Structure formats: structure tokens, C-alpha cells
């Protein structure tokens, strides 16, 4: 006998549709469009096989984005190297795919350095950044010939010590901090405007153990204006040329860090990110044109290094989630509780994530707030979206979740779900779901607190 579907009764309600909300830029039409397939895989089937919630990665999208980014720069400035920023998403499978594509690794801790080493990335293809590099990690980077971008005077002197002990002159990059955008990032490196970076170069050179061969600047994240990069490269060129002349050195690389935007939409933005995010070509033009024009001023032919994170990995990852209950708030608005919270989507605090229903409901839309299952008021994935009327069991897909979600996800109240990779018609776990035992494995209860199990 065929299984009968039991429909849940929802009280009918009248929704006022404003004719303006049907316009080109209104969320209504976009939010209610069903999204039910990724690379030929049905979302519904994947959820049935692996359970909900679930992170899903498209290997094709990841490889495509990397190649498009690389080609945009290499076609303009062939001496370019891409070092993928591990912190953005250091899932081993993601890093391994990008390593296969030829990406170097940009790491900011011994932990990230371990991941790169475990994947077989040679030491001289690892770029070591970050404001805190403990001594053992610095020594390892020196021994392996990694590029070390020095962040502070303390680090510079610590590195001098490592170089002295290793009895070898260590080549370094200087991290440069400059005023480019608003609000300005001012935590990293030596200041450009007040001449601190020149001072750092002098101090490094004077040690006799450190040789400045590069300049690095990471100006911020989600920089949706290519002009910022044009100003950045112009300043680094001016600085590099003057350091070469003053200290008789050669600037062998200029590292522009990351920050290139992805199609996500910031909360404060009116227009959807997909319409405002510059293309890779626009970024590449902004960077390469000024660099090419100034090449003859340099002693050699500096390599351009880029450390993209979000612009490469954001789009390839999806978070699947399922409605567990619906209710009306005291004000009458609809609240939808799903099984994935902000602990799995911490970027919900910054972005109006693109969330789509898996099923179609024609033109019928209803305003709803999408909340996660955590016992916290702030556990909101999206405020007031216009989605088809949702019921328990309906599935939703959150798009562009590859950057700063998995690596910043938090085990809280619930164990974290698995991550599935899609490639060439095959789906497989690249991280299995966490269990209670996984989470509690490192804990220990002192013997005196143990109560005997009742028989
Ligand atoms: C030094 C450095 N490089 C690259 C990145 C990657 O930035 P994004 O993901 O914005 O491209 C970061 C991120 O904070 C960073 O600190």
C-alpha cells in the first residue's frame, strides 16, 4: 500500500504583496526560487543519504574558481604565484585540491603549518604570516626555507636569534600596514606612512643575519573595490624601489595578501553581493597594470604573490538544513527553526546569506525569520526572508558558505555535521560527523568525582 503523506495544517493568512517587491532587485523572487541540484546531485537525495544538517562541497566549483582567479593574474603578469590562505577553510580535502592545482600555502600558525606539511607542500612553498609565530614554529620555517613575513620588531629580533643559532642569513619579507580603506586595518606589520617600515628594513639589514627580499600587505577582507588594490600596489612599488636604492637590496617578491570579495551580501549592503562583487579580471587589472608600468624601476623582476581565501572557496560550499518547527512570534511574524545554527554558520553575523528552498511553491511567498536550533536568541541565520510558506521537514540550502565557516565553526550544544565532497558523479565524506565521544575524548573526570554506576 502506498505510504500516505500527512500534511501539517497551517492556519491560512493573508500576505500583502507590494508591487515594488517584484522589481528586479527585490528579494522576494530570488529568495523563493527553488535550488535543488548541485553538479547533478539532488539535494534531497544527499540529505536522505547523509542526514541533516550537512556541509556539501563541489570540487568542480572549487577548481573552477581557483583556475579563473589564477588565469586572470597570470595572463597579465606571468610571474604570479597564488598561495591559498589556509585559515579561510583548512579542511584537508580543500587544501589538497588546491595544492593539486598548484597553489602554495599561506599559514599563520604552527597548526596550519602542520596541515600544509602533512599534505606534502614543500617548505619553500609555505608562506608564514600572522602576528604570533612562536619560536619553534619560526625555527621550523627557517629550516624549511619558507617565506617568513615579519610582523613586528619583537619578531624581527627573535628571528635574528634563530638565524644566528642556525648560522645562516635568513631572507624575510616585511609586513606593511597602510591606510587604504575605511575602517583601516592597523594590526599587522610596520607602518608605511610614518616610515616605520623603512626603520624595520634598516634594523633587519643592520643585524647582518636578516635580508629583506620582499614586502607583504594584507589590507583587509571582502574589499569590494579594486581601486584599493591599485593604491596598495602603487605604494608597495614606491616603497620597494626606495628600499632597494637605500639599502642595496633586491625586492624579489611583492605579496598583496587576500581580501578579494565573494558574492555574499554584507548586512549593511542594499544590493546583492552577486551584483557588486568585482570580477577577478577587474582585480587583476587594478594590480597588474601599475606593476607592469613600474617594472623597470626595480633591480630585478619581482614575483607577485596573492593570498586569496574567500574569493576562491566561498562559492564551492553549501550548508543543507531542514526545518524542525515553525511558530509565530508575539508580533505575529513567522519564525522558522532549522537544524543548523550560527555555530555552523558564524558568517551569518556579517552576511545576509543566500538561502533557498529546495521545493517550489509557485509564487506563494511568506516573510519568515530563519533561526537555528541553539538555545540563544542570537542564533538567527537570516532575518525576514521572503520564502515559500515553510513547514516542518522542508529543506533549505545556504549558499556561499566555504569561507570562514568550517574553520570557525564551533561545537556547541550539538556535535558538528559531516562534510561531503561531490566530484564526477561521486559523493563521499571528507569529514565524518562528530560524535559525542569525539567531543569528549580529551576530557578527564578526576577519580574522586566519579559516581558508581547503579546496577
Ligand atoms: C595574511 C592574510 N592573507 C590572506 C588572507 C585571506 O583573506 P581573504 O579570505 O579575505 O581573501 C588573510 C585573512 O585574514 C590574511 O590575514
Q: Does 3.30.360.10 match the CATH number of domain 21-57+315-434? A: no
Find where cell 541540484 sits. 37
391 C-alpha to ligand 1 centroid (Å): 39
Determine the pLDDT at residue 27.
47
pTM across the whole model? 0.94
Do residues 260 and 310 make contact, with C-beta atoms less than 8 angstroms apart? yes
Nearest ligand 1 atom, CA 404: 9
264 lines ligand 1 (CB under 6 A): no
Mapped onto helix, strand or coil, the DSSP state of residue 451 is coil
Question: Residue 83 Cα, ligand 1 centroid: separation in angstroms?
Answer: 10
| Bridge partners, 357 (sequence order) | 396
Ligand 1 in contact with 357 (CB < 6 A)? no
Strand stretches in 45-121, DSSP E: 54-58, 80-85, 104-107
Helix axes 110-118, 135-144, angle to 10 degrees: 30
What b/e string do you get for 307-329 counting C-beta neighbours within 10 Å, with b at 16 or more?
bbbbbbbbbbbbbbbbbeebeee
321 lines ligand 1 (CB under 6 A): no
Ligand 1 contact, 352 CB (< 6 A): no
Pocket lining: 372 vs ligand 1, CB cutoff 6 Å: no
pLDDT given at position 384:
86
- Residue 15, pLDDT score: 66
CB 72 within 8 A of CB 311: no
User: For a pocket test of ligand 1, which of 151, 226, 257, 407 has the largest count of ligand atoms closer than 8 A to its C-beta?
Assistant: 257
Name the packing angle between helices 196-207 and 153-166 (round to 10°): 20
pLDDT of residue 28: 45
The ligand 1 atom at the shortest distance from the C-alpha of residue 129 is: 1
CA–centroid distance, 103 to ligand 1, in Å, is 15
Domain 60-313 has CATH 3.20.20.10: yes
- Other CB atoms within 10 Å distance of the CB of residue 177: 22
How many CB atoms within 10 Å of residue 423?
16
Neighbours of 53 (CB within 10 A): 26
Catalytic site residue 375?
Answer: yes
pLDDT at 358: 95
Every domain of the chain and the residues it spans: 21-57+315-434, 60-313
Mean pLDDT of successive 10-residue stretches along the chain, which has 455 residues: 62 62 51 90 98 98 98 98 98 98 98 98 98 97 98 98 96 96 82 96 98 97 95 97 98 98 93 93 98 97 98 98 95 94 98 94 82 97 90 96 98 98 98 97 95 71
Centre of ligand 1 to C-alpha 8, Å, is 46
Ligand 1 midpoint to CA 407 (Å): 13
Residue 366 grid coordinates: 511568506
Ligand 1 touching residue 278 (CB < 6 A): no
Contacts of 36 (CB under 8 A, 6+ apart): 42, 43, 44, 358, 359
Task: Look up cell 619579507; give the residue.
Answer: 173
Confirm or reject: Cβ of 257 under 6 Å from ligand 1.
yes
Question: Exposure of 348 by Cβ count < 10 A (0-12 exposed, 13-18 middle, 19+ buried)?
Answer: buried
Task: Tell the residue number behind the cell numbers 569561507, with chain if given.
Answer: 403
Per annotation, catalytic residue among 194, 201, 316, 375: 375
Q: Are the CB atoms for 425 and 38 separated by under 8 Å?
A: no
DSSP for 347-378, please give it.
Answer: GGGTB---EEESS--TT--EEEEEE-SSSSTT
Q: Tell me, using a 6 A CB cutoff, whether residue 307 lines ligand 1.
A: yes
Name the E strands within 190-290.
190-191, 210-216, 253-255
Q: How far apart are CA 169 and CA 159, in angstroms?
A: 10
Mutate to test the pocket of ligand 1, among 81, 83, 84, 87 (most ligand atoms within 8 A of CB): 87
Which CA distances in Å does 356 have to 36, 105, 262, 370? 9, 33, 18, 11
Please answer whether residues 46 and 320 qualify as being in contact, where contact means their C-beta atoms are separated by less than 8 angstroms. yes
Distance 271 CA to ligand 1 centre (A): 24
Asked whether 308 lines ligand 1 (CB < 6 A), one says yes
**Separation between Cα atoms, residue 406 and residue 317, nearest integer Å:** 10
What distance lies between CA 39 and its chain's CA centroid?
22
Amino acid at each position: 500500500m502506498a505510504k500516505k503523506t500527512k500534511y501539517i495544517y497551517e492556519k491560512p493568512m493573508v500576505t500583502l504583496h507590494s508591487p515594488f517587491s517584484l522589481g528586479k532587485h527585490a528579494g522576494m523572487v530570488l529568495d523563493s526560487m527553488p535550488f535543488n541540484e548541485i553538479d547533478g546531485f539532488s539535494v534531497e537525495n544527499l540529505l536522505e543519504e547523509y542526514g541533516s544538517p550537512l556541509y556539501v562541497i563541489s570540487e568542480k566549483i572549487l577548481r573552477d574558481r581557483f583556475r579563473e582567479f589564477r588565469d586572470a593574474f597570470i595572463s597579465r603578469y606571468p610571474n604570479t604565484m597564488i598561495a591559498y590562505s589556509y585559515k579561510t577553510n583548512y579542511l584537508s580535502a580543500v587544501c589538497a585540491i588546491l595544492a593539486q592545482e598548484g597553489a602554495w600555502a599561506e599559514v599563520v600558525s604552527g597548526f596550519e603549518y602542520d596541515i600544509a606539511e602533512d599534505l606534502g607542500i614543500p617548505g619553500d612553498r609555505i608562506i608564514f604570516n600572522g602576528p604570533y609565530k612562536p619560536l619553534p614554529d619560526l625555527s621550523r620555517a627557517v629550516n624549511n626555507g619558507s617565506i617568513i613575513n615579519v610582523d613586528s620588531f619583537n619578531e624581527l629580533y627573535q628571528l635574528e636569534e634563530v638565524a644566528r643559532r642556525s648560522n645562516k642569513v635568513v631572507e624575510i619579507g616585511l609586513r606593511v600596514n597602510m591606510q587604504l580603506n575605511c575602517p583601516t586595518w592597523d594590526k599587522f606589520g610596520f607602518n608605511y606612512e610614518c616610515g616605520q617600515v623603512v626603520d624595520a628594513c634598516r634594523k633587519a639589514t643592520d643585524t647582518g643575519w636578516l635580508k629583506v627580499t620582499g614586502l607583504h600587505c594584507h589590507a583587509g577582507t571582502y574589499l569590494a573595490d579594486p581601486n584599493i588594490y591599485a593604491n596598495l600596489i602603487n605604494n608597495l612599488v614606491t616603497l620597494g624601489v626606495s628600499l632597494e636604492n637605500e639599502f642595496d637590496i633586491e625586492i624579489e617578491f611583492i605579496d598583496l595578501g587576500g581580501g578579494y570579495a565573494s558574492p555574499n551580501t554584507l548586512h549593511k549592503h542594499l544590493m546583492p553581493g552577486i551584483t557588486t562583487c568585482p570580477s577577478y579580471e577587474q582585480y587583476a587589472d587594478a594590480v597588474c597594470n601599475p606593476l607592469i608600468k613600474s617594472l623597470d624601476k626595480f633591480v630585478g623582476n619581482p614575483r607577485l604573490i596573492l593570498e586569496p581565501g574567500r574569493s576562491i572557496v566561498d562559492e564551492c560550499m553549501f550548508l543543507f538544513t531542514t526545518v524542525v518547527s515553525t511558530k509565530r512570534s508575539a508580533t505575529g511574524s513567522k519564525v522558522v527553526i532549522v537544524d543548523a545554527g550560527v555555530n555552523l554558520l558564524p558568517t551569518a553575523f556579517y552576511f545576509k546569506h543566500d538561502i533557498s528552498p529546495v521545493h517550489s511553491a509557485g509564487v506563494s511567498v511568506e516573510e519568515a525569520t530563519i533561526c537555528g536550533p541553539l538555545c540563544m536568541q542570537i542564533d538567527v541565520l537570516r532575518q525576514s526572508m521572503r520564502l515559500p510558506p515553510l513547514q516542518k521537514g522542508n529543506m533549505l540550502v545556504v549558499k556561499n558558505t566555504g569561507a570562514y565557516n568550517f574553520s570557525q565553526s564551533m561545537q556547541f550544544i550539538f556535535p558538528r555535521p559531516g562534510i561531503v565532497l561531490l566530484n564526477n558523479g561521486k559523493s563521499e565524506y571528507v569529514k565524518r560527523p562528530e560524535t559525542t565521544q569525539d567531543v569528549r575524548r580529551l576530557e578527564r573526570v578526576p577519580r574522586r568525582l566519579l559516581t558508581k554506576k547503579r546496577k
